[in-house]
Structures are given as C-alpha cells and as structure tokens.
Amino acid sequence: MKAVVLGSGGWGTALSQVLWDNGHETYLWSHNAAKAEEMARTRENPLLKGVRLPETLHITADLDCLRGADLVVSAPPSFAVRETAKKMAPYLTDKTVVVSVSKGIERDTNLRLSQVIREESGDICQVVVLSGPSHAEEVGIRLPTGCVSACPDVTAARFVQDAFMNDYFRVYTSGDIVGVELAAALKNVIALSCGVCDGLGYQDNTKALLMTRAMAEITRLGLKMGGAWQTFGGLAGMGDLIVTCTSMHSRNRRAGILIGQGKTPQQAMEEVGAVVEGYFAALSIHQLSAREGVEMPISQCAYEVLYEGKQVREVVRELMTRAKKDELLETAWL
C-alpha cells in the first residue's frame, strides 16, 4: 500500500515511521523544500529528536508523491489544514482514504478538521480521524501507544486500523467521529489550564479536580454537538486528557506553566516555540459553548485569562466559590 503523510512535524514524522514499520511504501511530505532536503540527508527531524528515520522512508517536498496514494495522512497544525487539503484535493480519488490526525477546531469557522478536509476535497473520499493519547516523542521510539480510528463508515475505520496497528501501536475503531474529534480539540485548553496550576504551585488535588470537572463540561458540549458519551471516557477523551495534562511533552501544559509563573500568553507561546493549540481552542470553545447554550465554567475562565487579561488567581477563586452543585446530577452523562 502507498501511504503519504502530509506534514513533517513531530507527529507526522512519527506516524510515517509507524506506516513504514508496517511495510507500506511511505512518503513524508514537507511544505518546506529545504527542510525536506535536510531531513532526507540527515535522516533526522529536529522536532523528533533521537529518532533516526529509515533510509527507505521517502522524504520529499514534491506533491506529486500523492499520485496513486491509497492512504493520505493530514498532519499539519490546525491552522494549515485547509491549505493542505486544497493541495491534496486534485490527487484524491474515490478509492483514497484520508486520515486526519491534527487536533483542533478551525479558527473563524469553528469547523471540525475532518469537515474542513471534506469541504476542500469535494467529499470525494472517506475521511477518518485518528486520535488518542499519543505523544510523538514516545511513538517515535516505539513505546506502547493506543489510538482510536473513527469514521461512520466502519470499513474505512477498519482500513486505517489495519494500516497503523502493530505490536507497539494499538488502534481501536469507533463510529463516533464527532465525539473523537471534539474530545481531541477541547482537551487542549484544559491541558493549558493544568499547566497554569503547576505554574502557580498547585499540586495533585487541584489538578485532579480540574481534569475531572473539565471532562464533565467537555462531555456536555460534545453530547450537544452529536458525540457519544462513551467516547469521552475512552482513549480519545479521558485518555488524551490525562496524557496532555500531565506530560512535559505537552506544549499546551508547558505554555500554561509559564502563564502560571507570570508570563503573558504571548510570551509563553513564544518561549514554547511551537503551536499551542489550547490558546486557539479557548476561543473556539467560548464561541461554541455560547452557540450551543452549554455552560463550561473552566473553559470560560481559561478564555478570560488568555483573551481578556484576567488574573489567574482571580479566576481560581471564582471557580472555587461557585454555587453549590450535586455531582451525580452534574455527571449524569456517566
């Protein structure tokens, strides 16, 4: 099978190695010709340090590598998904399966990223979402990892499962593409918030409280938008939330730590030096929750800190002194 990964960040690079390990003819495409040439020469990606790429993994900046591809993996940052989809569209056929592995919501439109790909591809082929608790740094060194292949078309979901699954990369299938995609996008702002807790010096109790209550509000919005409640307790939901909130691999958490230590959001993102999806997710959640009429107090407080300049300790006090609630009523989705 011919597989092409569009996007040479750490995640795209790690997934290209998974596909290569599984015996597929694999191409890793970069929009930057100089970067592609350097990676091909050194067999290394600075964004995935310590991983030497196989000599027969094709690294290129030529979009013609898409010709005849059976599987196309869309792996750019969320802000570049539409542009990348436009580039791939002329090469797609009704036999191609596109796998969206980016996590986020498109700015301005608030569309899920698979919806963006469908818009630009003319809905000519199946689009599957692959998501879960899966840091590129660990997949790159072949540590055991689990993900979910989500698509309403079970044949397409299983096709992607078969393409990626091996003895260190386990893939489950799901028909809930909406829930899987929303869970992936919405947890980024919570990971950033957990980082803020670390930066403030708060410890395990606080982060457990934050993560649990955040999952309740993420689930409320996900259900309202058509997701299945089981998804939010699974790998794509709670699993991804745990790994993103607790790992130093997480750019969102690192940015949050800096904000908790007193940096502005802009200073924090500059210091992290890579895309911090949680910053943009906070705006999307603010807009989506208002549109859907769903109360999301933690996400709203994150929005106020990131976009309105509110003081972190002030929003913590507001959250801790909210009106009393009954947890069983609040978590009826369980």
Catalytic residues: 187
The answer to whether the annotation marks 31 as part of a ligand binding site is yes
Strands across the sheet with 2-6, in order?
A: 58-60, 25-29, 2-6, 71-74, 97-100, 126-131, 145-150, 169-174
Distance (Å, whole) CA 305 – CA 198: 16
70 assigned ligand-binding residue: no
324 is in an annotated binding site: no
**36 labeled part of a ligand binding site:** no
**Is 270 annotated for ligand binding?**
no
User: Was 188 annotated as part of a binding site?
Assistant: no
State both tokens at 178: 């909406």
Coil vs helix vs strand at 104: coil
Query: CB atoms < 10 A from the CB of 122, how many?
Result: 9
Residue (of 91, 82, 90, 110) closest to 100 by Cα position: 82
277 known ligand binder: yes
Nearest to 305 by CA among 288, 319, 291, 321: 319
175 marked among binding-site residues: no
Does the annotation place 12 within a ligand binding site? yes
Consult the annotation and say whether 11 binds a ligand.
Answer: yes
Please name the residues in contact with 82: beta carbons below 8 A apart, sequence gap of 6 or more: 106, 116, 119, 120
CA distances from 278 to 113, 170, 189, 247 (A): 15, 26, 4, 15
- Is residue 8 marked as binding? yes
Is 234 annotated for ligand binding? no
Q: How far apart, in whole angstroms, are the C-alpha atoms of residue 47 and residue 227?
A: 33
Residue 7 annotated as binding site: yes
278 marked as binding residue: no
Q: Is 78 annotated as a binding residue?
A: no
140 labeled binding residue = no
Helices (H), the chain: 10-21, 33-42, 81-88, 113-121, 136-140, 154-164, 177-200, 204-224, 229-232, 240-246, 251-260, 265-272, 277-292, 297-308, 312-320, 327-330
**167 labeled part of a ligand binding site:** no
3-state SS of 21-56 is: HCCCEEEEECCCHHHHHHHHHHCCCCCCCCCCCCCC
Instruction: Specify binding-site residues for substrate.
Output: 103, 251-252
Binding residue numbers for NAD(+): 7-12, 136, 251
Q: Which residues are annotated as a binding site?
A: 7-12, 31, 103, 132, 134, 136, 187, 240, 250-252, 275, 277
Binding-site residues for NADPH, please?
A: 11, 31, 103, 136, 251, 275, 277
